[in-house]
Amino acid sequence: MNTIKLSICIPTYNRAKFLPELLESIVKQSHGYDIEVVVSDNASTDNTQEVLKLYIENHNNIKLSVADSNVGPDRNYFRAVSMAKGEYCWLIGSDDVIDDGGLEFVMQSLTSNQDVYLQDRVECDIDMNVLQRRSWWCKQAIMEWDFSKDEINHYFKQCNSLGGVFSFLSSIIVRKSKWDEYIPSEKYYETAYSHVFTLLSILKNDGTLKLLSNSGVLSRGGNDHFLSNGVCKRRLIDFYGYVMLADDLDMDALKFLLQKEHNIKSLSALFTGCVSFDVAVIYSRLAGFSHWKIYIAQALGVIRSKVNK
């Protein structure tokens, strides 16, 4: 019989600098709870493994598996969950932290026996100084959903951010048996949102969801791996991933959330901080500009003329 209620699943790569803070935040709160910590190291090239081994020596509920080679972020998410033995899995980014009381908050929440739990977060700077709390939902949002009865597009309309549809990894807790039912196809493993396919598939197939406000998730800012190739490429990750999800899962309302997330209200908004042709094409389609080729040509022409002056 499984006695582990919660597996905290940590996919990591080259995060030796930040992992101790996360692990300490777990260890000091874990006494008396049936939990385990599983870490999937994506063939780190720094001293991540040495850091982890120090914790493993002192805590028998921490487990580490090291990939033979870097398999990419998406596959590492699933690799971490595959290691888990708990009834529920809490996916946590290896640079984030659980605030004091956060683990108790989650363990109490799990007594409601939902398939998926989604937390809000406290946004911090790179040094974990608190900046603000970020909620994914409107103030009047319904907090418990049963999609055998509720309409999933109704839920999407109550979200004010892609965080409401699982874009932030550390906010997600899921029943492992449900997760294992919906493994994405290969095309999703380069999107950074393979896990979203699984979670939305759970909900689409009569799953249940509980929203957890005032959670203890501390999100470290200024450290987004996906920003390493620039803002344009970072935005493309959202668009390619969520447009694919909307089409494959027949959830067109996801596209409206993309518009809301990136504030697409006018043609000029398409080019704010980004002149990538690919981004402009996707923005134009989502924003409903019927003659997008003309608009793009005109907009890029104006931008280029300004640059060349």
Q: What are the pLDDT tens digits along the chain (309 aa)?
A: 458 999 999 999 999 999 999 999 999 999 889 999 999 999 999 999 999 999 999 999 999 999 999 999 999 999 999 999 999 999 999 999 999 999 999 999 999 999 999 999 999 999 999 999 999 999 999 999 999 999 999 999 999 999 999 999 999 999 999 999 999 999 999 899 999 999 999 999 999 999 999 999 999 998 776 656 666 667 778 888 888 999 999 998 888 888 777 665 554 555 554 545 555 666 666 655 555 555 555 555 554 444 444
Question: What pLDDT is recorded for position 76?
Answer: 96
At position 126, the amino acid (one-letter code) is: I
In angstroms, the CA 89 to CA 199 distance is: 12
In angstroms, the CA 110 to CA 116 distance is: 10
In angstroms, the CA 2 to CA 26 distance is: 21
Most distant CA pair in the chain, distance = 72
In angstroms, the CA 16 to CA 104 distance is: 26
Residue with tokens 């949002």: 141
Question: What pLDDT is recorded for position 263?
Answer: 64
Instruction: Kindly report the pTM of this predicted structure.
Output: 0.87
Give the contacts of 282 (CB within 8 A, at least 6 positions apart): 236, 239, 240, 243
Helix or strand run (H / E) with residue 56: helix 48-58
Question: What pLDDT is recorded for position 308?
Answer: 43
In angstroms, the CA 302 to CA 113 distance is: 55
| Sheet bearing 130-134, strands edge to edge | 97-98, 217-220, 121-124, 130-134
Mark residue 10 as left, alpha or beta (left: phi above 0; alpha: psi -120 to 50; beta: remaining). Answer: beta
Give the contacts of 112 (CB within 8 A, at least 6 positions apart): 144, 210
- Look at residue 208 and give its three-state secondary structure: strand
- The separation between CA 196 and the C-alpha centre of its own chain, rounded to angstroms, equals 8
CB 193 within 8 A of CB 168: no
**Helix-helix angle 253-261:231-248, to 10 degrees:** 160
Question: What pLDDT is recorded for position 227?
Answer: 55
CB 291 within 8 A of CB 252: no
6-223 belongs to which CATH class?
alpha beta
Residue with tokens 């344009």: 232
Q: Which long-range contacts (CB under 8 A, 24 or more apart) does 290-298 make?
A: 295/267, 295/270
Q: Which long-range contacts (CB under 8 A, 24 or more apart) does 231-235 make?
A: 231/273, 231/274, 232/274, 232/275, 232/276, 232/279, 233/276, 235/262, 235/274, 235/276, 235/279
CB 11 within 8 A of CB 22: no
Which residues in the chain are classed under CATH 3.90.550.10? 6-223
Q: Is the dihedral of CA 73, 76, 77, 78 positive or negative?
A: positive
CB 258 within 8 A of CB 167: no
